[in-house]
Chain A
Amino acid sequence: MLKGRHLIEPEDFTKEELDEIFTLANSIIENQNMYLHSCDGKLLATLFYEPSTRTRFSFESAMLRLGGNVVGFSEPGSSSVMKGESIADTIRTVGSYTDIIAMRHPKEGAPKLASMYSPVPIINAGDGGHQHPTQTLTDLLTIQNIKGNFSNLTIGLCGDLKFGRTVHSLIKALSRYENNSFILISPQELRIPPYIKNVLDDKNIKYIEVEKLEDVIGDLDILYMTRVQKERFFNEADYIRLKDSYILDSEKMKLAKEDLTVLHPLPRVNEISYEVDNDPRACYFRQVKFGMYVRMALILKLLGVE
């Protein structure tokens, strides 16, 4: 039963509960008209304590497409936060006006704190470098729709694997399904943190760590790209030596399988060349749309409306 629950981190829901959400999301994709008035009279609050156009638009579009309405702020400067109001007080107030709250905050754990005071469901829309569970739901729905299931996949994750929260959540989520293996492609400085390796080790899941994308791209079923920022490198020489390894272009795509799926949480900067956009294996803009559908399904489930 998902009605009235909060979503703070991807593990808050069981595999079965995630399946419920994906089934509903697929039903919405097939017949959007059926859900046009599902949330009539319902109000979503989007409390964005730091700017994030993409995620906020996704939540707001999701609610509006369900017939509901939206209130909120897109930066704390235009809210009572500037007057020094605590998160607990803001949430108790907003929770009295609205039916469900999507919250983004630069401080880690802020949505968890909010969930302790909120009379309505809280959805974590990203808390600093910590969790971004609706991105994980988005990634999973995309994979399910394109690959058909979440098992027997070789997943490559490329770029900043140390600080990339979407990468950590996705590895944890896919490690719950059978017979997946991971190829972790990053410079030495940006390798996956030990606690994620522990998750894989504990479950006896196969993974290797490599430095160059071109060496392994031919083995992958899914390639999840993330941005590598120059300032994350310890020295300029390593950056120059490795930077092109983390840029996906047509040359590297020639080495990949025909049914590779390329994903990216977006926004991209230069880690995927524009020439790749026309390749049918580039699925990152489809992924964005799945993000809206999965948020529609999530809102319906947490409100208990279907």
Chain B
Amino acid sequence: MLNIDSIANGIVIDHIKVGYGFKIFNYLGLDKADYRVALIMNVPSKKYGKKDLIKIENVMDLDLTMLGFIDPNITIAIIEDEKIKEKIHLSLPKKIENVIECKNPRCVTSIERNIVHKFVLVDEEKGIYKCEYCDHNYDGWEG
């Protein structure tokens, strides 16, 4: 068993879908962190069989909308004095802005400058979003 120290103050991002830990690590810019960070992949999980996990020994703002969009099953634990102060369960956001861009080459977002890229959730089960301008479906984060 791989042992990673518990953290005194910081954030634990848990229940990350296998393979998404590295994407979230990059998205949060943790490769440039000057504090202790652990990315653990393929951790045994009762619920999912396997999961990824990130421990961050630092207090930082997280974009929960974006994280929920990347993986709605994530849980986030805020640690203070080695205790869990708060546990946040994420879900797919109903609306997202400037998180993804429409892939439809005929969409107005492909030509208009400074446009806000807006998507609305149309199928929660399958995680499908629709571009608010051209109605084109967007299924899945590929970040």
A135 to chain B, nearest CB (A): 17
Closest to B113 in A: A86
Contact A109 B133, CB 8 Å, known A87-B108, A129-B106: yes
B13 at the A/B interface (Cβ < 8 Å)?
no
B96 to chain A, nearest CB (A): 16
B131 at the A/B interface (Cβ < 8 Å)?
yes
A198 to chain B, nearest CB (A): 11
**C-alpha spacing A128/B135, complex, angstroms:** 12
Query: Size range of the interface on A?
Result: 10 to 19
Residues facing A in B66-122 (CB within 8 A) are 104, 106-115
Dominant SS at the B interface? loop
Query: Are A108 and B134 in contact, with the CB atoms below 8 A?
Result: yes
Centre residue among A106, A110, A113, A129 by max chain B CB count within 10 A = A113
Query: Are A110 and B108 in contact, with the CB atoms below 8 A?
Result: yes
Contact A109 B113, CB 8 Å, known A130-B134, A130-B135: no
A212 at the A/B interface (Cβ < 8 Å)?
no
Residues facing A in B1-54 (CB within 8 A) are none
Closest to B136 in A: A108
**C-alpha spacing A195/B109, complex, angstroms:** 22
Number of A-B contacts (CB under 8 A): 48
Q: Specify which chain A residues have a CB less than 8 angstroms from the CB of B131 in the assembled complex.
A: 109
B interface footprint on A106-149 (CB within 8 Å = 1, 0 otherwise): 11111011000000000000011110000000000000000000
Query: Size range of the interface on B?
Result: 10 to 19
Partner of A107, one of B108, B113, B114, B135: B108
Contact A107 B115, CB 8 Å, known A113-B133, A130-B134: no
B interface footprint on A193-212 (CB within 8 Å = 1, 0 otherwise): 00000000000000000000
Closest to A84 in B: B113
A227 at the A/B interface (Cβ < 8 Å)?
no
Query: Are A109 and B114 in contact, with the CB atoms below 8 A?
Result: no
Contact A88 B112, CB 8 Å, known A107-B107, A108-B104: yes
Q: Specify which chain B residues have a CB less than 8 angstroms from the CB of A109 in the assembled complex.
A: 107-109, 131-135
Closest to A112 in B: B133
Closest to A114 in B: B108
Query: Are A128 and B112 in contact, with the CB atoms below 8 A?
Result: no
**C-alpha spacing A108/B110, complex, angstroms:** 10
Closest to A131 in B: B135
Q: Specify which chain A residues have a CB less than 8 angstroms from the CB of B106 in the assembled complex.
A: 106-108, 128-130
Q: Specify which chain B residues have a CB less than 8 angstroms from the CB of A105 in the assembled complex.
A: 108
**C-alpha spacing A74/B57, complex, angstroms:** 61
Beyond A107-B108, A107-B111, 10 extra complex contacts between A and B, CB < 8 Å: A105-B108, A107-B107, A108-B104, A108-B107, A108-B108, A108-B133, A109-B107, A109-B134, A112-B132, A128-B134
**22 cross-chain CB contacts under 8 A:** A86-B112, A86-B113, A86-B114, A88-B112, A88-B114, A105-B108, A107-B106, A107-B107, A107-B108, A108-B104, A108-B107, A108-B134, A108-B136, A109-B107, A109-B133, A109-B134, A110-B112, A110-B133, A112-B133, A113-B133, A129-B106, A130-B106
Residues of B in contact with A (beta carbons under 8 Å apart): 104, 106-115, 131-136
The list of the 10 closest CB pairs from A to B, nearest first, reads A109-B133, A108-B134, A109-B134, A107-B108, A109-B108, A110-B108, A108-B106, A112-B133, A128-B106, A113-B108
